């Protein structure tokens, strides 16, 4: 929240920019203003701008996530839908790129995370996953 003393510092800004937000983002701003967190909608959006690109991306309709609940993720397709659009956008630049190249690092990171989860599950005696410690996993006590 900006204090009264800080309001003076905003007077140095004379350039205007405008951007379009979703109705949900505007509602969040109104709620924050009503709850006394910000003195105006402009202050809210200015603060969001200052805290950085990652927070500003929340206001950009092009980067809205698909709002898939984790409990709804039961397939690879669901997992891909649950991935926030911003993650994919960050892999792009102004040059044309092959989809395989765009997805390469994301795929490697995803595989590493899945491998880590498998190991965690195998090391947790409350799950049915087992491992021999050499990269092999199975259900139950089969050999």
pLDDT for the residue numbered 61? 53
Average per-residue pLDDT for the chain:
77
pLDDT for the residue numbered 7? 55
pLDDT for the residue numbered 50? 65
> Is pLDDT of 133 > 70?
yes
CA distance 116 to 141: 21
Closest CA to 46 of 75, 21, 72: 21
pLDDT for the residue numbered 11? 62
What average pLDDT score do residues 73-98 get? Answer: 84
Are residues 112 and 120 in contact, defined by beta-carbon separation less than 8 angstroms?
no
CA angle 134, 139, 142 (to 5 degrees): 75
> Is pLDDT of 2 > 50?
no
Give 55-82 pLDDT, tens digit per residue: 455 555 555 555 555 557 888 888 888 8
What residue ranges do the domains of the chain occupy? 4-59, 91-139
pLDDT for the residue numbered 44? 79
């Amino acid at each position: 929240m900006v204090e009264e003393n800080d309001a003076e510092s905003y007077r140095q800004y004379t350039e205007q920019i405008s951007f379009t937000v979703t109705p949900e983002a505007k509602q969040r701003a109104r709620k924050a203003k009503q709850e006394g967190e910000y003195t105006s909608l402009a202050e809210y959006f200015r603060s969001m701008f200052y805290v950085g690109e990652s927070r500003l991306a929340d206001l950009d309709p092009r980067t809205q996530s698909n709002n898939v609940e984790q409990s709804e993720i039961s397939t690879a397709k669901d997992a891909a839908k649950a991935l926030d659009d911003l993650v994919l956008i960050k892999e792009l630049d102004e040059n044309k790129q092959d989809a395989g190249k765009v997805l390469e690092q994301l795929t490697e990171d995803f595989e590493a995370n899945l491998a880590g989860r498998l190991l965690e599950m195998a090391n947790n005696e409350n799950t049915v996953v087992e491992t021999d410690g050499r990269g092999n996993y199975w259900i139950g006590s089969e050999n």
